[in-house]
Homo-oligomer: A and B are copies of this chain.
């Protein structure tokens, strides 16, 4: 009983389930600050002059961080069974442990423990700690919407990547054919020419390698034009996905509102549910208000603008949303 209620509290504080929870927020901010300090110290450690001077400080930060992150990882793993989303799972802890967020948490502490058992290049290992920055993903709702859209459109992104690869091979081989005699050190083989092709197709254009023959420059111009078309692909896919997501989120809110209004009144519970849905969908108050007004207007077309019993006008309940 006591264990269970403690576990529930830990879960609520860590996962921040209640919006008006002050302690949960403080836990959040402390963890965010620690991650930021961590990332900063790993970056600064690579500057030799700084590293030699503050070697002790950096070690302290590392040990404290790993301790806290290990504690956090274990606490999340222990309390995750309180998550209603995992209620149906046979092995809720295992299911949580292989979720992306849990794997990121594990990745943040694993390298430290591995050094006790294996001999690993320390410089590589230190940089690996930078992946701890991914732990921040947890704290932004807007970010998770963007990542969700990217995940939904992944097949389109793969296709765009495939088109890019095909264009890269064709651009590199074309440039190789045209330029390899004049610039054998830069376009001497297709793999060499790929560096130029990539810089041009992505419109980065470093300029360390450029075609110098007229034919090469004409071909290079074509590749550059294809490049701006290429850059349009991810923009198009992402925009189309975001627009569709926004439209569906508005529909979802509209449907729940319509259902809540079926009895003509939006009571306290329905208000809270609507407000929670609005936040989860990342819709602004302004948009929610417009949807409410619209649903109300359309409803009036059916039930009439005035109540048939008392003759008073129906008004839009505006309170929370």
Contacts and interface: CB of A to CB of B under 8 A. Distances in A.
A294 interface: yes
A162 to B, nearest CB: 6
A295 interface: no
A79 interface: no
A176 B217 CA distance: 17
A33 interface: no
Contacts of A237: 232, 242
Number of copies of this chain that the complex holds: 4
A232 B234 contact: yes
**A interface: dominant SS:** helix
Given A173-B127, A217-B195, A237-B242, A228 B207 contact: no
Interface residues of A, number: 95
A130 interface: yes
A136 interface: yes
A284 B43 CA distance: 41
Nearest to A241: B236
A43 B169 contact: yes
Nearest to A187: B46
Best-buried of A48, A136, A228 by chain B (most CB within 10 Å): A228
B189 A199 contact: no
Contacts of A204: 199-200, 203-205, 224, 227
B169 A39 contact: yes
Interface string A134-164: 1010001111011000001001111111111
9 contacts: A46-B191, A136-B166, A140-B159, A152-B284, A202-B227, A207-B207, A207-B208, A231-B231, A231-B234
